[in-house]
């Protein structure tokens, strides 16, 4: 693609936090970014408005009945799909060259893998797809010759800091964590936290699942696994540093004791634009960083006793195979149960821990094997959740 060409996007999860930020970046660069396909779940009125505004030729929603509603509600006639097949249809449109994977959870796995295999640029916000798919994503990348660009702010930062460096050249990388709403809470208070308290993130405005993951620090655990997948780093090379101001997103430490840090405002439009337009750097979607404003940055270690989900993620990464998929599946089930008011906050880590213990990891040979571990883990987690309803 030449520098002045237009990138043609399929955005899966356009009605979410990342999806709407991506559309804002598209609106800021209409001469360089065009929409070919949009897919969403159940937020139909917002999706209808997005379709009217951007006129994608291909659209998809989660349910067949909603596809019918959309057909009768739109003032133009795109091809309308639904369900997992709909996500795949949008991801694989030959008119699109770039996929923005912004659905939440393992639901985004197949479309992410298929787009990599088809040779597209895939801008991945959907970290669960990388955690679950692991090495299979690299195989798809090699088979298709496409590109994988992270959208997660920490991994976009690492992409800039690593800049093609081999993992052997770095002693460690550090991804930062705001610490979430419970950073300074006692263990007893965290154990009794409510849904409203857990959804009250101090720094980022995000979808509900990742917001709960930020409160348990499972989000950081998933990001440790994601960093391992993306950059070929060993578990002991990936560290987490608490940094409540969320201005430094990641750092790379070299063998001589020197560190490089990446700094930018905590606005997801920045890493989204980086991934969409890489390697170009066009005018940013947020004001230039103000170094004349006096600030205090603090750094410290995470507390694994109050946030055991981070330790569970490291354990799954060390076990390897389908263990990260098992961790992720149990976490998705437990977070959904917590958000539905079925279990308490502390039940999330308990459910994940017991599922990891109960479901053996298998070699992650192909997607079918990974999805088999995913479904066995979900069944086991649901059994546990049914026995522990509060
Ligand atoms: N938000 C952030 O700042 C941030 C930062 C880094 C990484 N991420 C990652 O990016 C992903 C998205 O996060 P988010 O915060 O944007 O989540 P979100 O606000 O909950 O949005 C999720 C999107 O996925 C759609 N969706 C969910 N299940 C679907 C399905 N089965 N079929 C089709 N569409 C489906 C939703 O549609 P409806 O709403 O229409 O139902 C919505 O558009 C997550 O993996 C998260 O970890 C997010």
197-243 pLDDT, tens per residue? 999 988 878 999 999 999 999 999 999 999 999 999 999 999 999 99
pLDDT (0 to 100) of residue 4: 55
* Boundaries of every domain in the chain: 7-151, 152-268+295-317, 320-390
CB of 358 closer than 8 Å to CB of 380: yes
Average pLDDT over residues 346-350: 98
Distance from the alpha carbon of residue 299 to the mean position of ligand 1, in angstroms? 29
Q: Do domains 7-151 and 320-390 have the same CATH topology?
A: no
Residues 6+ apart with CB under 8 A from 180: 201, 202, 214, 215, 216, 217, 219
| pLDDT score of 285 more than 90 | no
Q: What is the mean pLDDT of the chain?
A: 96
Q: Is the CB of 15 under 6 A from ligand 1?
A: yes
| pLDDT score of 53 more than 90 | yes
Task: Collapse the DSSP code of 137 into the 3-class scheme (helix H, G, I; strand E, B; otherwise coil) and give the result.
Answer: helix
Q: Domain 320-390: which topology?
A: Rna Polymerase Sigma Factor; Chain: A (1.10.1740)
pLDDT (0 to 100) of residue 3: 45
Q: What sign for the dihedral angle of Cα 314, 213, 336, 384?
A: positive
Give the residue, by CA position, lying nearest to ligand 1 atom 17: 207
Q: Is the CB of 39 under 6 A from ligand 1?
A: yes
pLDDT in tens, 77-122: 999 999 999 999 999 998 999 999 999 999 999 999 999 999 999 9
Distance from the alpha carbon of residue 104 to the mean position of ligand 1, in angstroms? 4
pLDDT in tens, 132-164: 999 899 999 999 999 999 999 999 999 999 997
> Rounded to two decimals, what is the model's pTM?
0.97
CA 308, CA 314: separation in Å to the nearest integer?
Answer: 10
| pLDDT score of 2 more than 70 | no
Q: Is the CB of 41 under 6 A from ligand 1?
A: yes
Q: Domain 7-151: which topology?
A: Rossmann fold (3.40.50)
Ligand 1 atom nearest to 17, measured from its CA: 16
CA 25, CA 4: separation in Å to the nearest integer?
Answer: 17
Distance from the alpha carbon of residue 209 to the mean position of ligand 1, in angstroms? 8
Q: Nearest 5°: phi and psi at 131?
A: -65, -45
Distance from the alpha carbon of residue 49 to the mean position of ligand 1, in angstroms? 18
Q: Nearest 5°: phi and psi at 282?
A: -90, 175
């Amino acid at each position: 693609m030449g520098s002045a060409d237009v990138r043609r996007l399929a955005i899966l999860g356009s009605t979410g936090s990342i999806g709407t930020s991506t559309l804002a970046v598209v609106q800021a660069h209409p001469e360089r970014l065009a929409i070919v396909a949009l897919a969403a779940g159940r937020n139909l009125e917002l999706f209808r408005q997005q379709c009217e505004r951007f006129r994608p030729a291909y659209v998809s929603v989660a349910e067949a009945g909603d596809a019918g509603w959309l057909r009768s509600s739109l003032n133009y006639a795109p091809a309308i799909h639904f369900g997992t097949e709909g996500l795949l249809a949008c991801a694989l449109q030959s008119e699109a060259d770039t996929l923005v994977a912004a659905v939440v959870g393992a639901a985004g796995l197949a479309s992410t893998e298929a787009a990599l295999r088809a040779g597209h640029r895939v801008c991945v916000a959907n970290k669960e797809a990388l955690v679950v798919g692991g090495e299979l994503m690299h195989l798809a990348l090699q088979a298709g010759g496409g590109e994988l660009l992270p959208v997660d702010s920490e991994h976009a930062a690492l992409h800039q800091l690593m800049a093609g460096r081999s993992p052997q050249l770095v002693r460690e990388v550090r991804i930062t964590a705001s610490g979430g709403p419970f950073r300074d809470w006692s263990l007893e208070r965290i154990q009794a936290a409510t849904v409203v308290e857990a959804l009250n993130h101090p720094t980022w405005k995000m979808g509900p699942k990742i917001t709960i993951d930020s409160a348990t620090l499972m989000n950081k655990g998933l990001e440790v696994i994601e960093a391992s997948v993306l950059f070929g780093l060993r578990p002991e090379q990936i560290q987490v540093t608490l940094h409540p101001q969320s201005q430094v997103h990641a750092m790379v430490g070299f063998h001589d004791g020197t560190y490089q840090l990446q700094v930018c405002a905590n606005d997801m439009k920045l890493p989204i634009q980086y991934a969409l337009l890489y390697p170009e750097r066009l005018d940013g979607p947020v004001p230039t960083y103000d170094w004349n404003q006096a600030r205090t940055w603090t750094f410290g270690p995470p507390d694994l006793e109050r946030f055991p989900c981070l330790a569970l993620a490291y354990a799954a990464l060390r076990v390897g195979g389908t263990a990260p998929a098992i961790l992720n599946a149990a976490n998705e089930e437990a977070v959904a149960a917590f958000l539905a008011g079925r279990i308490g906050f502390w039940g999330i880590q308990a459910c994940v821990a017991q599922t990891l213990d109960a479901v053996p990891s298998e070699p992650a040979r192909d997607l079918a094997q990974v999805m088999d571990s995913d479904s066995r883990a979900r069944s086991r987690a649901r059994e546990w959740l049914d026995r522990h309803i509060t």
